[in-house]
Amino acid sequence: MTDRAHRPVKIAIFMEFFLPYLGGIERYQDRLSKQLRLLGYDVFIVTSLHDESLPRFEDKDGLRIYRLPTKGIFKQRYPFFKRDARFKETMAAVEAENADFYIVNTRFHLTSLLGARLAHRLGRPVALIEHGTAHMSVGNPVLDFFGGIYEHGLTHFVKKHVTSYYGVSRNCNKWLRHFTIKASGVWYNAVTPEDTAVADDRYERLWPRGGEGSEIVISYAGRLIAEKGIVALLDAFARLRAELPDVPLRLAVAGSGPIEDELHARYGSDPAVTFLGKLDFPGVMSLYRRSDVFVYPSMYPEGLPTSILEAALGDCAIIATPRGGTEEVITSPALGWIVDGATSEQLTNALVPALREAVTDPVRRGCASTSRGRRLPARLPPSSTRPWPAKRDRQTWGADLRPKFLDAFIRSHYAACYRA
């Protein structure tokens, strides 16, 4: 899209982290930025300098990335800006971009407040994308209590500047009501069949399929933090191995995080557990390609876990907790297992029978995995409130209509802002 001066309309996307930090929000915005650029928009990213080895400014094939310096405290979880000369210099360059439209991600991130304030000061429309469904938790009741107060306070300031709100699932929009915010629609997470093209056979060569004694591979990909349920999964796998000593099983854990060393010390001696460390996107998709079962045991307030959608493209049978929009994806028992638990121990107890059925019933596992790709919808508008249809062609999760919907949204706001 171009404006009246025949230049591409420029969109600024503000977010807490961006690639090479590999998480669901980061992949969401990476895909969205690519889709918007295909529609003719000029897009740039403003994020945190969470790793000092990264450049403050980077141009990756026309996508400009500005990284703001941060303080050392909570740098990998919740970065605070270091408002030094480098910060001021970077923000001056961001303002000089003179963006026409702003997108910010999640109410309680400081990057969202920064972007919303800048957009408001410049008289530009700004949309906020909500990626959560509950207050952020660090597993400490006292810190969580004060964190909730902080979140409400920051949301109060963000609301003063934001034009409209969208969640990445219907549950995200329900959560926005907690802050007396009415969402305008849903911009779902999206995956495309082309995402599978980056996968290779590295794990199929490591754990060959089909032969006698071929292992059933159970995988996890995500941050190694307690809130993601990884401890519950490892405990459940240990119990499963004890129950089924004659079944060849493999648990592959991809990711890194603050409890990584603790997990290695506690579970690393099990020869059936493989810690793969932090993988890039091709590595993750290659893991899904070999996995028989993917488990996403999150106890975290998710929006719509991208990992579940990506694992679905890899034809994995999926076991997941009902966080965020998971039940908008796994809408029936034929499409996977939904388990839950308020504590890690309860979640372990819920995971064991689901894992047992997944590994001992090949028909059930095969049904869940072969229907996986077919349940990724291609034709559900991002603003729809209808349930996903049960049977689908193997195409795209929201990626074909979401950019078109966003295109129309930006055009309407752009016209209102620049009306002659």
- As a three-state string, the secondary structure of the chain is CECCCCCECEEEEECCCCCCCCCHHHHHHHHHHHHHHHCCCEEEEEEEECCCCCCCEEEECCEEEEEEEECCCCCCCCCCECCCHHHHHHHHHHHHCCCCEEEEECCCCHHHHHHHHHHHHHCCCEEEEECCCCCCCCCCHHHHHHHHHHHHHHHHHHHCCCCEEEECCHHHHHHHHCCCCCCCEECCCCECHHHHHHCCCHHHHHCCCCCCCCCEEEEEECCCCHHHCHHHHHHHHHHHHHHCCCCCEEEEEECCCCCHHHHHHHHCCCCCEEEEECCCHHHHHHHHHHCCEEEECCCCCCCCCHHHHHHHHCCCEEEECCCCCHHHCCCCHHHCEECCCCCHHHHHHHHHHHHHHHHHCHHHHHHHHHCCHHHCCCCCCCCCCCCCCCCCCCCCECCCCHHHHHHHHHHHHHHHHCCC
Q: Could you check whether 10-190+399-417 and 193-375 share the same CATH topology? A: yes
User: What was the pLDDT predicted at 2?
Assistant: 58
CATH code reported for the domain at 193-375: 3.40.50.2000
User: What was the pLDDT predicted at 60?
Assistant: 93
pLDDT in tens, 133-188: 988 777 678 888 888 998 999 999 999 999 999 999 999 999 999 999 999 988 88
CATH code reported for the domain at 10-190+399-417: 3.40.50.2000
pLDDT in tens, 271-304: 999 999 999 999 999 999 999 999 999 998 889 8
Domain extents in the chain: 10-190+399-417, 193-375
User: What was the pLDDT predicted at 51?
Assistant: 85
The parts of the chain modelled with pLDDT lower than 50 are 4, 372-401, 417-420
User: What was the pLDDT predicted at 403?
Assistant: 53
User: What was the pLDDT predicted at 104?
Assistant: 97
